[in-house]
Amino acid sequence: MTTTEKAAAALELLPEEMREPAVQYLLEQAEKYRLLKASVTEGIDDVAAGRISDWSFQDFLREARSLHAKSSTE
């Protein structure tokens, strides 16, 4: 039995009023998975293309504080 056949058989076991919500839930989960997979692929492509660089949170804070200090004195 394929996965699709198993899903259809499971839906058949449910009462009629539970089938539509079950199908809607599966569709929502499938869409979330599709979007997550696309985001992961985009991230991997960005790394491969060299569009990702290491950064230091401490350096970021130091720069932000420096910019804030400059804007406060102006």
Q: Where are the domains of the chain?
A: 3-73
CA nearest to 26, candidates 40, 2, 15, 10:
10
Q: What is the pLDDT of residue 12?
A: 97
Contact 20, 28 (CB under 8 A): no
Is the pTM above the cut of 0.95?
A: no
Mean pLDDT by 10 residues, the chain (74 residues): 96 97 97 98 96 91 91 76
